[in-house]
Amino acid sequence: MSRPKEGPALKQQQVGGQVRHLRTQARLSVRALAARTDFSPSFISQLENGLVSPSIHSMEKIAQVLGATLSSFFGAIGPGEGGLILRRTDRTRLTSSWSDASIESLGRPSARRRLEPLLITLAPAGRSGKYPVAHRTEEFAMVLKGRVDLQLGPDLHHLAAGDSATLLPGELRLWVNPGRNLCQVLLIGLVQ
């Protein structure tokens, strides 16, 4: 059964509410979360109130500090437990307007899931964040569409559709679309 489509502002508010919930559950103040993520308290407050659209990497940093996953943010705006089938029309998508990127959860949120499949879409000149960031777990990535630059540590790799990469824990990485066409990357990580 389909659910009504929600606009980007409502999704941002729901994600912000989930960030607030996880922050209070972790007994952190806005200032403490800001300090641990290197963001300003103003940014965290705006995020929790649904007033900003953070980058993919910003959400990953916040999730890491809160002991959560990106999937836990999608769980706030989509259906939870259920079958293993997720129709394309039912996928939840978060968009970051400043970085010209979006991320979609390709699986239903579940406490029992061990893999976190995500689809990153980068518009021309889009990027996953401002700076390279490291992840705690190993990830697998495959370029599905277009061309993308992957900054992996100090090295820059030019990848095309069909190319793949294994990203090791602790490696700094940043996705950038240098072209004029949309690109998409399938990213599969382990849920901790």
Which of 27 and 71 is assigned the larger pLDDT? 27
The closest of 175, 174, 189, 169 to 68, measured between CA atoms, is 189
Using the predicted structure, report yes or no on whether residue 72 has a pLDDT greater than 70: no
Which of 16 and 175 is assigned the larger pLDDT? 175
Q: What is the C-alpha separation between 136 and 154, in angstroms, rounded? A: 18
Give, in order, the Cα–Cα distances in Å from 9 to each of 3, 5, 50, 124, 170: 17, 12, 7, 23, 33
Q: What is the C-alpha separation between 119 and 126, in angstroms, rounded? A: 14
pLDDT digits (tens, 9 = 90+) for 2-43: 444 445 555 677 788 888 888 888 889 999 999 999 999 999
Which of 53 and 173 is assigned the larger pLDDT? 173
Domains defined along the chain, listed by start:
8-190 (2.60.120.10)
Residue-level pLDDT at 48: 87
What tokens appear for 65 in the block? 């500090």
pLDDT range class, residue 80, cuts 50, 70, 90: very low
pLDDT digits (tens, 9 = 90+) for 85-99: 677 887 777 777 767
pLDDT range class, residue 164, cuts 50, 70, 90: very high
Residue-level pLDDT at 92: 75
Strands 115-122 and 139-145: unpaired
Which of 21 and 183 is assigned the larger pLDDT? 183
Residue-level pLDDT at 127: 92
pLDDT range class, residue 124, cuts 50, 70, 90: very high
